[in-house]
Amino acid sequence: MTVDIRAIRADDEAAWRGLFAAYGSFYKTDFTPDVLDRVWAIVLDPAQGVNALVAELDGVVVGLAHYRSHPDTFTAELDWFLDDLYTSEESRGHGVATALIEHLTQLARDTAPGGSLRWITAADNTTAQRVYDRVSTRTTWVTYEVRL
C-alpha cells in the first residue's frame, strides 16, 4: 500500500468531513454542521493561516493534518504547529500518521529551516504517542488552557 501526502483540495470536502467528524468523536466532541462548515472554510482560505494536508492510501483519503506557522520569539525563526492529526481507523498501522508528520517536517525545513514543529496530544492517547515518540522528541512543557 502506498501513502501519498498532498495539500487539501476543494473536492476533498466529503472525505475531510468524515475524517474530521471522526477526529472530534475520538476526543468526545460532536462537531455541529456549522462548526464543520466554518472549519472547512478556514482550511480552504489561505488568508486564515491554517493549512491542511491529506493522506491518501492507494488513492483513498484516509488522513488529515491541519497546521500553521508563526514567528518564534525565542529563536526569531519560523515555528510550525500541528493543530490536528487524524487517520482513519482502517488505515492505522500503514504509516499514514508518520507520513503526514514527515511530509510536514520536510515542508517546514524547505520553507524556513531553523524553527521547530510542535504539537500536543491527550495524555491518554498512547497509540498516537508511540508514533510521536518514534518521529520526534517529547518535551517537558505542560499545557494550560483558559476557556473564553
pLDDT at 130: 95
pLDDT at 44: 96
139 vs 127: CA distance, rounded Å? 18
Percent of the chain residues topping a pLDDT of 70: 100
Is the predicted pLDDT of residue 77 greater than 80, yes or no?
A: yes
> What confidence tens digit (pLDDT) does each residue in 29-51 have?
999 999 999 999 999 999 999 99
| Residues 6+ away with beta carbon under 8 Å from 61 | 12, 15, 16, 19, 54, 55
Is the predicted pLDDT of residue 113 greater than 90, yes or no?
A: no
**Domains of the chain (ranges plus CATH)?**
3-135 (3.40.630.30)
Burial bucket for residue 134 (CB in 10 Å: 0-12, 13-18, 19+): exposed
Percent of the chain residues topping a pLDDT of 90: 95
pLDDT at 119: 96
pLDDT at 108: 95
Residue type, 89: E
65 compared with 113, residue with greater pLDDT: 65
Q: 128 is written with which cell numbers?
A: 498516537
pLDDT at 144: 92
Is the predicted pLDDT of residue 101 greater than 80, yes or no?
A: yes
pLDDT at 114: 85
35 compared with 1, residue with greater pLDDT: 35
